[in-house]
């Protein structure tokens, strides 16, 4: 819980306590409006008992509960609390009423007086226990939520750091394959890779990025990957123009693009790779379609973590707000990823 929210919570709590006691202390005087006002009677029956209730409440709230109730020493708590009520407040309250407000011949029997006051003074004790228990539960829940959030953030960071070397490794494979045969192309790839890595390192350290930036990154990466393919491979890109500002978590679609190039490029037969993206009913829809060529087990390019990484990130970033399906049918791999997008101010 950050310092600002904690301070705000404390201020709200203090203001609530002050407001409740102001209402309780002023209520008898407000209710007596329009009738004959008797100050001694109001003090005797309302103000002084409320002072006792406040003392009992805050003695429990700030001292006894923290020291004894929540430290599993409840027997000692009950003993001290009972002594506080019976041995101090009841006697003082009874004597004050006897000597200052009630004529001796009209005083109620001490047993009746004791019984009524014990019942009335137990109420603030029970209320203080209930309120303090509730506050500690709220605080515990806030700590648990914070711990859960920190765990999710840590896991997302781990997945992201896992993705970056994976991406870089695939790109280096492309450069390596071009150096001997096409050195000029290799230089182009290194230049393009530099731009991609700048985006990867400096512009994706946020929860979301604009979809238009992510599309630019994807197009650059497809161009980079295309340099490695032969004339037998045709790449079709259909990214519909984004007419409204849309936010999306960074680097979600890159694993599907990598997967398409990893399994969809053949050295001997013609292969088509299709990428489509469009907006439909407040969802970003991204699809891929490509020839599926299973890799030999000795081929470690890409390390095979891309799609697993994607599915884990989707569960963390878009719980109940995404759909990911893929299938292989008649030797063709199809995938579709739908994400509930976030609009931004233009």
Q: What is the pLDDT of residue 207?
A: 85
Q: Per-residue pLDDT for 1 more than 60?
A: no
Task: Give yes or no for a contact between 210 and 247, defined as CB atoms under 8 angstroms apart.
Answer: yes
What is the secondary structure of 189-207 as a DSSP string?
HHHHHHHHHHHHHHS-SSS
Domain boundaries, the chain: 3-144, 158-343
Task: Give yes or no for a contact between 213 and 246, defined as CB atoms under 8 angstroms apart.
Answer: no
- The model's pTM is 0.57
Q: Per-residue pLDDT for 125 more than 80?
A: yes
Average pLDDT across the chain, whole number: 78
Choice between 183 and 92, residue whose per-residue pLDDT is larger: 183
| Letter string b/e over residues 95-116, b meaning 16 or more CB atoms within 10 A of that residue's CB | eebeeeebeeeeeeeeeebbee
**Within the chain, where are the H helices?**
3-31, 39-42, 48-59, 65-67, 74-82, 91-96, 110-179, 183-202, 211-226, 254-264, 306-317
The number of CA neighbours under 13 Å toward the Cβ of 188 is 13
Task: Give yes or no for a contact between 268 and 233, defined as CB atoms under 8 angstroms apart.
Answer: no
Q: What is the pLDDT of residue 136?
A: 86
Overall average pLDDT of the 231-238 stretch: 91
Q: How far apart are CA 252 and CA 276, in angstroms?
A: 14
Q: What is the pLDDT of residue 286?
A: 97
- Encode pLDDT of 300-319 as tens digits: 444 456 788 888 889 888 99
Q: Identify the architecture of domain 158-343 in CATH.
A: 2-Layer Sandwich (3.30)
Looking up tokens 């519909």 gives 240
Strands 283-291 and 332-340: what pairing? antiparallel
Q: Per-residue pLDDT for 87 more than 90?
A: no
- Encode pLDDT of 171-216 as tens digits: 777 677 777 777 777 777 787 777 888 887 788 888 888 999 999 9
Q: Per-residue pLDDT for 104 more than 50?
A: no
Q: What is the pLDDT of residue 275?
A: 97
Q: How far apart are CA 31 and CA 35, in angstroms?
A: 9
DSSP 70: G
Q: What is the pLDDT of residue 112?
A: 62
User: In DSSP terms, which residues pair with 288 in a beta bridge?
Assistant: 275, 335
């Amino acid at each position: 819980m950050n310092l600002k929210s904690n301070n705000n919570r404390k201020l709200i709590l203090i203001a609530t306590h002050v407001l409740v006691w102001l209402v309780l202390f002023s209520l008898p005087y407000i209710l007596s409006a329009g009738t004959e006002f008797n100050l001694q009677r109001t003090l005797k029956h309302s103000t002084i008992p409320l002072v006792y209730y406040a003392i009992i409440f805050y003695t429990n709230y700030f001292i006894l509960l923290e020291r004894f109730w929540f430290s599993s020493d409840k027997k000692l708590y009950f003993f001290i609390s009972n002594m506080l009520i019976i041995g101090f407040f009841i006697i003082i309250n009874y004597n004050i009423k006897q000597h200052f407000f009630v004529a001796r011949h009209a005083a109620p029997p001490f047993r009746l007086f004791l019984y009524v006051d014990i019942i009335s003074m137990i109420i603030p004790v029970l209320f203080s226990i209930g309120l303090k228990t509730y506050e500690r539960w709220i605080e515990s829940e806030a700590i648990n939520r914070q711990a859960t959030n920190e765990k999710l953030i840590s896991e997302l960071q781990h997945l992201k750091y896992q993705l970056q070397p994976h991406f870089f490794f695939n790109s280096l494979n492309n450069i390596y394959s071009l150096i001997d045969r096409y050195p000029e192309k290799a230089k182009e790839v290194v230049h393009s890779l530099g731009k991609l890595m700048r985006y990867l390192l400096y512009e994706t350290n946020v929860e979301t990025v604009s979809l238009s930036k992510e599309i630019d990154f994807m197009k650059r990466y497809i161009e980079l990957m295309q340099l490695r393919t032969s004339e037998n491979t045709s790449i079709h890109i259909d990214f519909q123009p984004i007419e409204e500002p849309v936010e999306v978590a960074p680097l979600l679609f890159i694993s599907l693009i990598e997967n398409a190039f990893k399994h969809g490029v053949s050295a001997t037969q013609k292969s088509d790779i299709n990428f489509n993206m469009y907006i439909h009913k407040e969802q970003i829809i991204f699809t891929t379609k490509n020839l599926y060529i299973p890799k030999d087990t000795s081929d470690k390019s890409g390390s095979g973590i891309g799609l697993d990484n994607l599915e884990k990130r989707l569960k963390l970033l878009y719980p109940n707000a995404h759909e990911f399906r893929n299938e292989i049918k008649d030797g063709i791999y199809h995938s579709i990823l739908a994400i509930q997008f976030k609009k931004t101010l233009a």
